[in-house]
Amino acid sequence: MRGMAVFLSCLFMACSAHAAAKVVEIEGDKGQKAWLIEDHTLPVVTARIEFRQGGVAYDEAGKEGLAYFAMQMLTEGAGDMDSLAFNRALERHAIRIGVDAQEDATAISLQTLSEFKNDAFSLLALAINKPRFDEDAIARVASAISSTLKEMQENPTYRASRKWKELAFPNHAYHNLRLGTLDSIVLINQADLQKYAGTVLACNHRIISVVGDITPKETKQFLATLAPEKECKPSATTVTDVKPVDGAVAPVIVKQDIPQTVVQASFPALMRNDPHYYAMVVLNYVFGGGGIFDSRLGQEIRNKRGLAYYADSDVNEFEHAAYIAVHFGTRNEQANTAVGIFQEEVKKLHDKGVTKEELDGAKRYITGSFPLSLDSQNSLAEYLTQMQRFNLGIDYLDKRNSLINAVTLSQVNDLAKVLFAHTPIIVMAGAPVDTNKEKQK
């Protein structure tokens, strides 16, 4: 079976004539744009709208959690429908609306059976253009968020990431907590929410992606339906580029009485538009993205030593910062050993880089598996959003595999020397034992 690993033929996306899904730009009458993938295989339409310059990093001090709160409120009443009426209207046609708040932007997504798309579009437009922000709904949502925050505070993964943000972005709004704090949530009032609507939701810096059983003409009508009615007053808040800070020599410990320590680590990374971004994606696969059997972290921490159930890394791209995050969790008695192995693997990659075999394997997985992520409307809508956010080009889906295949061994290994020269931030949430190097926090 060993010979099977060496496969000469090119992987299907890399050289077949079968093109990726076709993306077209649709322009509305008021200058709004949407990117569309028309696909009539299923009688379903999916849409995603991202509101730029309105994410968690734009929450003002003292009102952390506002962006998240505001988005939660969008399905709590709009136009002349209170929360109950609005949600019944959605359910009547099984219309699904979801909301999200990330660092740079917030988003609302829609999924509807195409036979009800006109109702769906109207309800979506109402939600984003005429949210009611009723006082009783505000109080109810504030209570729910407070309960969620309390539950999250029990969770070592959350506690680790909260500490990590403080360490990585000490003087930058990227340290804002998505749901805010128990103190900040209760300070958010109707005026704040209305201001959010006027400065973010009403403004035309939206990224709109549409996928599914819908024509270009219908998409243009959709854009018209969505056009904001409120006047846009863009926020004065700006978020500047920032590099995550390097780590201290010793891991930072967030004490908690649990049997398994959760470890989160990070390295500053290349920004999305850096010409060597694709080399970094390949490097990350070898480092920890390739899973249990095809990455250094997976193999050394889990598959060879059985220290953890999960040990992986991923690339994180904000508009103004980028980092590679590492995650693993192991019993308290082994936590420091696992961290030691992680540090050893980083040094190995820095000093010796990846092998040609690893480079080829990474490329084969990354290019070969690409179509798997294009097989659902939701993931296509997410791709379209990313492509617009980072100006990747409307033909990105067709180009993407050749960009990966163009990566060379020396690019990857030069990059490893740069990225892994940094001392990573390491946060350990739990009760790691037996060390005299830890810094108690």
Partner 1 sequence: MAVVFLLGLLFARSAMAYEDLPIETFTLKNGMPVVLIENHRVSAVTHMLCYRVGAGDDFPGRSGLAHYNEHMMFQGTKKVPVGEFGRIVSRNGGAFNAFTTQDYTAYHVSIATDRLPLLMQLEADRMLNLAPTQANFDKEREVIIEERRMSVENQPEALLSEAMYAMLFRNHPYHNSVIGWMHEMQALTRENVLDFHRQFYHPANAVLVVAGDITRKQLELLAEKYYGSLPAGEKYVRNWRSEPPQRGPRHIEIHHVNVKQPVLERWYIAPGVNTAGKDVVVPAFVLAQVIGGGTTSSLYQSLVVKQKIATGISADYDGINYGPGIFKIEAIPAPGVTLPQLEDAIDKEVKTSLAQNVHAQDLQRAKTLLTAELVFARDGMEGMARTVGALIMSGLSPDYFNQWPKLVDKVNAEDVHKAAADIFDSNGSVTGYLLPQEGEK
Tell me, what DSSP letter sits at residue 299?
I
Shortest Cβ distance from residue 192 to partner 1 (Å)?
21
Which residues make Cβ contacts (< 8 Å) with residue 111, sequence separation at least 6? 44, 45, 46, 95, 96, 377, 378
Site string for partner 1, 220-249 (x = CB under 8 A): ------------------------------
Of 46 and 413, the one with the shorter C-beta distance to partner 1 is 46
- Measured CA to CA, the distance from residue 19 to residue 371 in angstroms comes to 10
Q: Which of 72, 106, 161, 377 binds partner 1 (CB under 8 A)?
A: 377
Give the interface segment with partner 1, choosing from 118-126, 223-231, 293-301, 410-418 (CB under 8 A).
Answer: 293-301
Tell me, what DSSP letter sits at residue 22?
P
Residue 282 CB neighbours (<10 A): 27
Phi-psi group of 79: left, alpha or beta (phi > 0 → left; psi -120 to 50 → alpha; rest → beta): left
End-to-end CA distance of the chain: 51
Q: Which of 25, 27, 80, 154 binds partner 1 (CB under 8 A)?
A: 154
Of 1 and 236, the one with the shorter C-beta distance to partner 1 is 1
Contact flag: residue 16 with partner 1 (CB under 8 A): yes
- Interface with partner 1: number of residues (CB under 8 A): 80
Contact flag: residue 198 with partner 1 (CB under 8 A): no
Q: Are 33 and 219 in contact (CB under 8 A)?
A: no
Place of tokens 């990225």: 419
Q: Which of 180, 268, 361, 432 binds partner 1 (CB under 8 A)?
A: 361
- Measured CA to CA, the distance from residue 438 to residue 421 in angstroms comes to 21
Q: Classify each residue of 48-67 as buried b or exposed e, where b means 16 or more C-beta atoms within 10 Å of its C-beta.
A: bbbbbbbbbbbbeeebbbbb
Q: Which of 122, 189, 194, 256 binds partner 1 (CB under 8 A)?
A: 256
Of 54 and 156, the one with the shorter C-beta distance to partner 1 is 156
Which residues make Cβ contacts (< 8 Å) with residue 261, sequence separation at least 6? 156, 329, 330, 331, 332, 335, 428, 429, 430, 431, 432
Q: Which of 4, 8, 61, 249 binds partner 1 (CB under 8 A)?
A: 4
Q: Are 305 and 292 in contact (CB under 8 A)?
A: no
Sign of CA dihedral 438, 174, 345, 258: positive
Contact flag: residue 337 with partner 1 (CB under 8 A): no
Q: Which of 84, 232, 421, 433 binds partner 1 (CB under 8 A)?
A: 84
Binding residues for partner 1 restricted to 96-115, rule: CB under 8 A:
96, 111, 113, 115
Shortest Cβ distance from residue 268 to partner 1 (Å)?
27
Give me the phi and psi of 305, to 5 degrees please.
Answer: -110, -10
Contact flag: residue 17 with partner 1 (CB under 8 A): no
Shortest Cβ distance from residue 220 to partner 1 (Å)?
24
Of 200 and 301, the one with the shorter C-beta distance to partner 1 is 301
Phi-psi group of 240: left, alpha or beta (phi > 0 → left; psi -120 to 50 → alpha; rest → beta): beta
Of 83 and 129, the one with the shorter C-beta distance to partner 1 is 83
Q: Which of 217, 231, 375, 440 binds partner 1 (CB under 8 A)?
A: 375
Of 106 and 299, the one with the shorter C-beta distance to partner 1 is 299
Shortest Cβ distance from residue 260 to partner 1 (Å)?
4
Q: Which of 129, 176, 264, 330 binds partner 1 (CB under 8 A)?
A: 330
Q: Which of 225, 303, 405, 435 binds partner 1 (CB under 8 A)?
A: 303
Of 73 and 105, the one with the shorter C-beta distance to partner 1 is 73
Which residues make Cβ contacts (< 8 Å) with residue 426, sequence separation at least 6? 247, 251, 252, 263, 264, 265, 339, 342
Q: Which of 93, 195, 243, 276 binds partner 1 (CB under 8 A)?
A: 93
Binding residues for partner 1 restricted to 36-55, rule: CB under 8 A:
39, 41-44, 46
Structure tokens at 62: 């003292």
